Amino acid sequence: MDFSVLDIPLIDFLQIDLPALLVAVFAAIVCAIPGSFLVLRKQSLIGDAISHVVLPGIVAGFLLSGTLAAIPMTLGALGAAVISVLLIELIRVLGKIETGAAMGVVFTSMFALGVVMLEQTGSSGVHLDVEHALYGNLESTLWLGLEKWSDLWSARGWETMPLRLQQLSIALICVVAFVSVFFKELKLSTFDPLLATSLGFSARIMSFGLVIATALAAVSAFGAVGAILAIAMFICPPSAARMLTDRLSSQLWLSALYAGLSAILGYGLAAFGPLVLGTDFALNAAGMIAVVAFVLQFVTMLLAPRYGILSRRIKSEIETEKAPS
Amino acid sequence: MTDLQFKLFQDLLGILGLQGGYNTSLVLIGSALLGAVSGLVGSFSLLRKRALIADAVSHATLPGLVLGFLVAIALGFDGKSLPFLLIGSAVSGLLGVLMVQWIRDNTRLPEDSAIGTVLSSFFGLGVVLLSYVQTLKNGSQAGLEDFLLGSTASMLRSEAELIAVIALLLSILALAFRKEMALVCFDAGFAQALGWSVKRIDLIMMGLLLTVMVIGLKSVGLILVIALVIIPPVAARFWSDRLSTMLILSSLFGALSCYLGAALSALAPDIPSGATIVLTASSFFVLSLVFAPQNGVLAAALRFTAFRIRLCSDQVLSELNKGEPVPDSLTKAIGLYQLRSRGLVAPLSMEITREGHHYLASLQEEN
């Protein structure tokens, strides 16, 4: 083999690969946590809808504030998410239409609006790109303050931490705080919304909180992986975890584990795979993370000890053998 | 209106009147046919409550699209020749549907998780393949991203013709099977009891949906093509509960959206045509949401106001009866006005008429 991973200079790894990896892992985990609740509530497609409508929200925040700063764009995205959820509800009730179709109307319209608005940003100097909106720009994260491992613990390392990583860490802290503070409420309102409401806290407020958490996750993952691939982070790791456990806490831990693993393996395959093969083509890392997330989920669906397809087959065969013929 | 706006407006009128050159006109006609047939096919999938499976299908076409491109250049064709791309997209879209069904039927995961899984991971695979293709030194791959958000501007004459012909064939097929599909949508059990194979009819519906979306990829793009089979039917649903009316309206909305949207995007080549087409469709939807006579927001608001006034006038009447005659608020004043115009209270006084007493008695009976 002419090339090997070890040939990459440490400084390149620290400045280019490490920040991208961290961003990927954080983005995947911040999505997987609200994603677990969405999968359990059979609302996975809310994640789909919200990660689409984040686009017009971000662009609106950008157009109104004129900067690429995080706060106006996040506020725009949260606003867009809330508007879209309200619109979906309005259309569902008035039009007597199933939620799925109402969602389809809202998120495609808002995404199209976002695309048209994106073109308006072209004249204002800072350009947001349609392609980055679709599959992110993970590779562009640089951490120039890192030259050796010990810089990670130095003041200089911390000061030059990429903005995107800072934002993702804040979002991750917020989402984790929300889930730990309201764990009991979220649990009850997920599994028994009627009981939750009769116990005195509104299941509706919890759903609303979940929408906000989802939107926050979607907007912070947006820069790294774009609108569409964030859906993989919302749904694949929690679905894999769902195959393994019935406990909410293990569901959350396992989702985070799957998310982190997908991010590391996916980024590794995309960045170093071609090198190992000795070719020089580049592969999109965000796309590869989605593919790896699916492969892990697929393997889990087949092999999960209790709910996996294989173990169910074997169980049913044993039962037919036992049964008197 | 500035001169520039006036010029743009004139151009738009020219394009809409098919005066924008032979190619543009052909693209417009092809788009209109595409819109009509997607409105038609989408109505059935909406009624069968399968609208969002289209989401999985459309995103799942990306890997096939790129593989179609790779196969085409491997065989020595132009990579962007539409038949290769369409066949590739159709195959991977189909794989996407099968995967959704397999996950739904064989695991404990619900269908919506299956849809989300398939749409995002297939799209991810497509993005990876696309990034590989972009590093090839072939050159003809430029423009493959047009399929993400649509580009009617780059559509060739032969492509517009191909799309128009397939759209026509699909609408003939959809109309031929409309009775069978309608029955399966409304009462699958009954269709089964009649001896029809629901499975086969579902398969036909799915096939039509898949093909419509695949031929829509070029003009609307795979992210938004789902809008073409969802928004016109949902807009039409607001106007009517009758299937035939809904089908006609939905095709009409679809055709107009694509026709107007494609014309608009001919004016503004920077904006992907998928976005202009979808926003045109959304404006038809918003009009329907607001103005539809039965289910529209305006109709609902009017009904609600009428109900409020009715309640209020009933309350005023019973207060008058108990001898508390002075309306102390605007709503009560409106109630009193209503009572007088219905002849339940004598004009210019607070006296309850005979009809008023009858009405009061009937109210009390109801309680």
**What is the architecture of the domain spanning A3-150+159-322?**
Orthogonal Bundle (1.10)
Residue B326 has pLDDT above 70, yes or no: no
> How does pLDDT run across B21-75, given as a tens digit for each residue?
777 888 889 999 999 999 999 999 999 888 888 889 999 999 999 999 999 888 8
Segment B74-79 mean pLDDT: 81
In angstroms, what separates the C-alpha of B304 from chain A's closest C-alpha? 13
What pLDDT is stored for residue A5 in this prediction?
Answer: 54
Regarding whether B273 and B325 lie in a shared domain, the answer is no
Regarding whether B354 and B280 lie in a shared domain, the answer is no
Segment B219-235 mean pLDDT: 92
In angstroms, what separates the C-alpha of B5 from chain A's closest C-alpha? 17
Regarding whether B110 and B14 lie in a shared domain, the answer is yes
Mean pLDDT, all residues of chain A: 86
In CATH, what number is assigned to the domain containing residue B221? Answer: 1.10.3470.10
Chain B contact set for A103 (CB, 8 A): 52
Looking at A24-33, A240-249, B51-60, which range is the least confident one? B51-60
Using CB atoms, pick whichever of B54, B238, B279 lies closest to residue A113: B279
Segment B257-276 mean pLDDT: 87
Note whether B131 contacts A282, CB cutoff 8 Å: yes
Whole-angstrom distance, CA of residue B57 vs CA of residue B64? 11
What pLDDT is stored for residue A152 in this prediction?
Answer: 76
Residue B12 has pLDDT above 80, yes or no: no
DSSP-assigned letter for residue B344: S
Note whether B52 contacts A130, CB cutoff 8 Å: no
**Residue A269 φ then ψ, to 5°:** -60, -45
Sign of the Cα pseudo-torsion (A57, A63, A65, A71, in order): positive
What pLDDT is stored for residue A3 in this prediction?
Answer: 47
Note whether B128 contacts A109, CB cutoff 8 Å: no
Segment A82-88 mean pLDDT: 93
What pLDDT is stored for residue B33 in this prediction?
Answer: 93
**Residue B261 φ then ψ, to 5°:** -65, -40
Using CB atoms, pick whichever of A96, A104, A119 lies closest to residue B226: A104
Amino acid (1-letter code) at residue B301 = A
What pLDDT is stored for residue A2 in this prediction?
Answer: 44
Whole-angstrom distance, CA of residue B65 vs CA of residue B84? 8
Assign B138 a pLDDT band (cuts: 50, 70, 90). Answer: low
In Å, how far are A49, A56, A133, A230, B118 from A75, measured between CA atoms?
Answer: 17, 12, 17, 19, 30
Regarding whether B203 and B165 lie in a shared domain, the answer is yes
Assign A17 a pLDDT band (cuts: 50, 70, 90). Answer: confident
Residue A126 has pLDDT above 60, yes or no: no
Whole-angstrom distance, CA of residue A211 vs CA of residue A85? 8
Task: Output the six-digit token pair for A115.
Answer: 């695309």
The percentage of chain B sitting over the pLDDT mark of 90, rounded to a whole number, equals 43
Using CB atoms, pick whichever of A122, A242, A290 lies closest to residue B109: A242
* Structural domain that includes position B49: 3-293
A257 vs A67 pLDDT, higher one? A257
Regarding whether B333 and B233 lie in a shared domain, the answer is no
What pLDDT is stored for residue A137 in this prediction?
Answer: 80
Structural domain ending residue among the three candidates B264, B293, B322: B293
Question: Is there a contact between A75 and A61 (Cβ–Cβ < 8 Å)?
Answer: yes
What pLDDT is stored for residue A1 in this prediction?
Answer: 38
Assign A157 a pLDDT band (cuts: 50, 70, 90). Answer: confident
> How does pLDDT run across B177-198, given as a tens digit for each residue?
998 899 988 888 888 888 888 8
Regarding whether B208 and B156 lie in a shared domain, the answer is yes
Structural domain ending residue among the three candidates B293, B312, B339: B293
Assign A127 a pLDDT band (cuts: 50, 70, 90). Answer: low
Regarding whether B225 and B331 lie in a shared domain, the answer is no
The percentage of chain A sitting over the pLDDT mark of 90, rounded to a whole number, equals 42
In angstroms, what separates the C-alpha of B167 from chain A's closest C-alpha? 22
Whole-angstrom distance, CA of residue A269 vs CA of residue A285? 8
Regarding whether B200 and B164 lie in a shared domain, the answer is yes
Q: How far apart are the first and last CA of chain A?
A: 60
What pLDDT is stored for residue B283 in this prediction?
Answer: 95
Under the phi-then-psi rule, with left for phi > 0, alpha for psi from -120 to 50, and beta for the rest, what region is B323?
left
Chain A contact set for B278 (CB, 8 A): 108-109, 111-112
In angstroms, what separates the C-alpha of A150 from chain B's closest C-alpha? 34
Regarding whether B172 and B77 lie in a shared domain, the answer is yes
The percentage of chain B sitting over the pLDDT mark of 70, rounded to a whole number, equals 96
Assign B212 a pLDDT band (cuts: 50, 70, 90). Answer: very high
DSSP-assigned letter for residue B2: -
Name the B residues in 86-115 with CB < 8 Å from any A CB: 103, 106-110, 112-113, 115
What pLDDT is stored for residue A125 in this prediction?
Answer: 52
Count of structural domains within chain B: 2
State the complex-level ipTM.
0.90
Note whether B227 contacts A90, CB cutoff 8 Å: no
Partner A contacted by B73 (CB < 8 A): no
Note whether B289 contacts A229, CB cutoff 8 Å: no
> How does pLDDT run across B283-314, given as a tens digit for each residue?
999 999 999 888 888 988 899 888 888 888 88
Residue A124 has pLDDT above 60, yes or no: no
A69 vs B291 pLDDT, higher one? B291
Using CB atoms, pick whichever of A96, A112, A228 lies closest to residue B278: A112
Regarding whether B216 and B192 lie in a shared domain, the answer is yes
Using CB atoms, pick whichever of B148, B270, B289 lies closest to residue A119: B270
In angstroms, what separates the C-alpha of B312 from chain A's closest C-alpha? 25
**Domain boundaries in chain A?**
3-150+159-322
Partner A contacted by B344 (CB < 8 A): no
The DSSP string of B137-180 is S-STTTTTTHHHH--STT--HHHHHHHHHHHHHHHHHHHHTHHH
Task: Output the six-digit token pair for A156.
Answer: 């200089």
Mean pLDDT, all residues of chain B: 87
Partner A contacted by B224 (CB < 8 A): yes
